[in-house]
Amino acid sequence: MYAIVDIAGQQFKVQKDSKIFVHRLDGDEGAQVSFDKILLIENDDKVLVGEPLLEGALIHAKILSHVKGDKVLVFKKKRRKGFKKLRGHRQFFSQILIEDIIVEGGVKRAAVTKTKVAAPKAEAEVVVKEAKPVKKTAEKKEVVKKVAEKKPKAAAAETKKEKAPAKKTPTAKASKETKAPAKAKGKSAKE
């Protein structure tokens, strides 16, 4: 009997009492976990295929240990630029033991962890703050209009004069016209 199961985003072919490495799972070593994303189960030459998952099927497993995978070296280089970068990476894995494959009517186990139960905390007092009234945008526009009316008109005119561009200087075309031509057109220098 074997099953195809989705564990942490990857599909594995599992059998009872088999040990596999999967991406790191939440839970301590020795914790019991259940997987319900079962895609296929083969039992005594009878194959059950889910569409996409089988309803009521479960796989119970036990976390044996949390380990790191082999080191993978990542080397980057740009030729003729003097750029080299070497980085290493070790993926986190969990080793699990498949304890049972249930075809139908399985009840999912909650992950059991070995942690201390903390004393219940006293309930915190809930403080309710009064909401400030929100001014409407129409009221804001009226305030802006009132401020604009209070400005003296003379001050507004002075600011416009300061922003006016400076007088233009004569262009190169005008300066050429004022210069006297060095040679008359059509006459030679000898005459």
Q: Report yes or no: 65 and 92 within 8 Å, Cβ to Cβ.
A: no
Q: Give how far the C-alpha of residue 48 lies from the chain's centroid of Cα atoms, to the nearest Å.
A: 38
Closest to 101 in 3D by CA, of 53, 58, 154: 58
For 13, half-sphere exposure in the C-beta direction (CA atoms, 13 angstrom radius) is: 3
Q: Report yes or no: 96 and 14 within 8 Å, Cβ to Cβ.
A: no
Q: Please report, in angstroms and rounded to a whole number, the separation of the first and last CA atoms in the chain.
A: 120
Extract the tokens encoding 80.
Answer: 């003729």
Amino acid at 49: V
For 144, phi then psi, to 5°, come to: -65, -40
Extract the tokens encoding 2.
Answer: 């074997």
**Confidence at residue 169, expressed as pLDDT on a 0 to 100 scale:** 61
pLDDT tens string, the chain, 191 residues long: the values are: 999 999 999 999 999 999 999 999 999 999 999 999 999 999 888 999 998 899 989 999 999 999 999 999 999 999 999 999 999 999 999 999 999 999 886 566 555 444 444 555 555 455 555 655 655 565 666 666 666 666 566 555 555 556 656 666 665 555 555 555 556 556 555 55
pTM beyond 0.85, yes or no: no
